Amino acid sequence: MWEPAGAAPELDEFRTTLRAFALERLAPDYRRWQNEPFPRERLLELGELGVFGMLTGSELGGSLGQGGGYVPLGIAAEELSRGDFNVSYFLQLQAIGCRLLELSDAPDVRDRWVPAIVRGEALASFALTEPATGSDAAAITTRARRDGDDWLITGEKASITFAGNSDVCAVFARTSDDGARGISLFCVPLDLPGVSRQPVRSSTGHLTQRGSLFFDEVRVPADHLVGTEGAAFKSAMATFDFNRAIIALACVGAAQQSLDETMEYVRTRETFGQSLARREGVSFQIAEHLAHVHAARLLAYQTLSHADAGRRHATEAAMAKLLGPKHAGEAIHACVILHGWSGFGDDLPFAQRLNDVYGLEVGDGTPEIMKAVIAREAIGVISHR
Ligand SMILES: Cc1cc2nc3c(=O)[nH]c(=O)nc-3n(C[C@H](O)[C@H](O)[C@H](O)COP(=O)(O)OP(=O)(O)OC[C@H]3O[C@@H](n4cnc5c(N)ncnc54)[C@H](O)[C@@H]3O)c2cc1C
């Protein structure tokens, strides 16, 4: 097996532990969650691995600066995705949930939820997208209106990961008509009256429980507005800046595992009296995909290193998100074909990996939106409208 050099050698032991967990604990059940819900006990197991608190300080139960950080979170996404790509959604949403809810100093928000998310006792979701506004996120129409000491939230959010099973949601809602500057963030416990959920059956299966969240005059206390009123659009964009690199690494992990398995296979599979590995038509394909996947990996780790150092990284994150799912998808597609008929079968994971990786080519921003981010930085202001 060809092994890429570690992005952070001091984290090799962490990488090794997570890879073993991924291959021994997660991989055997990867297909199982197509039809069954992911058990909550397993969320606790992931919490015990320490992978949900990597961007959270020790005062709230996390490990930021003490082994945790953006690069370690990227390693976790890359390694766990080797076993089950969809488990990376837990890493993403728990990290995003902590980052956003930590912006509050209300005990009922930060202290109630963040340590529970870190331990895997609570599951977080992030609700920005609406039926009519996805890429154009600043145009959301979900409203929050002040009513005495409370806020009343009304609107519909669509395509929300963990809509079906999360406990608390970071909800973006309009508190004024001032475009992106009129959007505020609310912590909404999802057992409140007026919340309803409609999970959609999606090809990424039951683990992600993606779907719609409906808010019908949902009443939250004033201190559940997180951060500064009207300043939440920037907070949402800040989560995209690191999460796009995390997504790229999840895709890289699934692709590298597929390539590793395919290299084993082509060494032994013979056609016309020779192993497939002896045919350059086969080995050169694999070489090319290894190079592309590794390039995406390095770009994603560079993005996360910038994040750890407090440097700007939005453009690199968009580049990583543009290239990660693309090159991973192309590599896994080649692995499907190189396995012949068995590549499409349910006994091997390639077809599901391909499907799952392409889902995150859209989630957190489509390739066109990544190009718009890169072009805006490189060329100047680009108008979307
Ligand atoms: C697997 C998955 C998980 C998700 N999880 C969440 C979640 O947890 N929370 C959440 O809030 N959202 C989530 N989403 C929603 C996701 O963020 C949106 O689907 C995404 O931002 C695109 O929005 P849209 O689907 O409305 O597409 P649209 O914005 O309608 O775009 C449709 C097409 O038009 C293209 N397009 C749009 N604008 C332009 C332009 N200016 N120039 C060129 N092309 C353009 C797009 O690239 C796309 O191909 C998830 C989506 C997926 C697939």
SS (H, E, C) 163-216: CCCCCEEEEEEECCCCHHHHEEEEEEECCCCCEEEEECCCCCCCCCCCEEEEEE
pLDDT digit string (tens) for 76-87? Answer: 999 999 999 999
pLDDT at position 6 over 60 = no
Q: Whose CA is nearest to atom 49 of ligand 1?
A: 366
* Shared fold status for 124-230 and 233-378: no
Q: How many angstroms separate the alpha carbon of residue 362 from the centre of ligand 1?
A: 6
Cβ(247) to ligand 1 under 6 A? Answer: no
Most ligand 1 atoms within 8 A of CB, residue of 201, 326, 362 to mutate: 362
Are the CB atoms for 254 and 357 separated by under 8 Å?
yes
pLDDT mean over 77-103: 98
Cβ(129) to ligand 1 under 6 A? Answer: yes
> Residue 89 CA to chain centroid, in angstroms?
5
Cβ(366) to ligand 1 under 6 A? Answer: yes
pLDDT digit string (tens) for 217-269? Answer: 999 999 999 999 999 999 999 999 999 999 999 999 999 999 999 999 999 99
pLDDT at site 7: 58
pLDDT digit string (tens) for 284-337? Answer: 999 999 999 999 999 999 999 999 999 999 999 999 999 999 999 999 999 999
Are the CB atoms for 125 and 94 separated by under 8 Å?
no
- Shortest-distance atom of ligand 1 to CA 133: 26
Most ligand 1 atoms within 8 A of CB, residue of 86, 100, 159 to mutate: 159
Cβ(265) to ligand 1 under 6 A? Answer: no
Cβ(97) to ligand 1 under 6 A? Answer: no
pLDDT digit string (tens) for 149-181? Answer: 999 999 999 999 999 999 999 999 999 999 999
- Residue spans of the domains in the chain: they are 9-119, 124-230, 233-378
pLDDT at position 127 over 90 = yes
pLDDT at site 5: 60
Residue 12 makes CB contacts below 8 A (sequence gap 6+) with 6
Please state which architecture CATH assigns to domain 9-119: Orthogonal Bundle (1.10)
What would the CATH number be for the domain defined by 233-378?
A: 1.20.140.10
DSSP reduced 3-state for 154:
strand
| Extended strands (E) in 245-294 | 270-271, 274-275
pLDDT at site 43: 97
CATH of 124-230, one of 2.120.10.30, 3.10.20.600, 1.10.1060.10, 2.40.110.10: 2.40.110.10
Are the CB atoms for 7 and 75 separated by under 8 Å?
yes
pLDDT at position 4 over 80 = no
pLDDT at site 1: 56
pLDDT at position 111 over 70 = yes
Strand duo 150-160 + 143-147: pairing = antiparallel
Q: Among residues 79, 109, 113, which one has the least CA distance to residue 94?
A: 113
Are the CB atoms for 359 and 204 separated by under 8 Å?
yes
For residue 281, give both structure tokens: 């038509």
pLDDT mean over 365-381: 94
> How is residue 6 annotated by DSSP?
P
Strand duo 168-174 + 124-127: pairing = parallel
pLDDT at site 11: 87
DSSP reduced 3-state for 129:
coil
Give the containing element (helix H, strand E) for 117.
Answer: helix 112-119
pLDDT at position 132 over 90 = yes
Mean pLDDT of the chain: 95
Please report which confidence band the pLDDT of residue 19 belongs to, taking 50, 70 and 90 as the band edges.
very high
Q: How many angstroms separate the alpha carbon of residue 358 from the centre of ligand 1?
A: 13
Are the CB atoms for 300 and 320 separated by under 8 Å?
yes
Cβ(203) to ligand 1 under 6 A? Answer: no
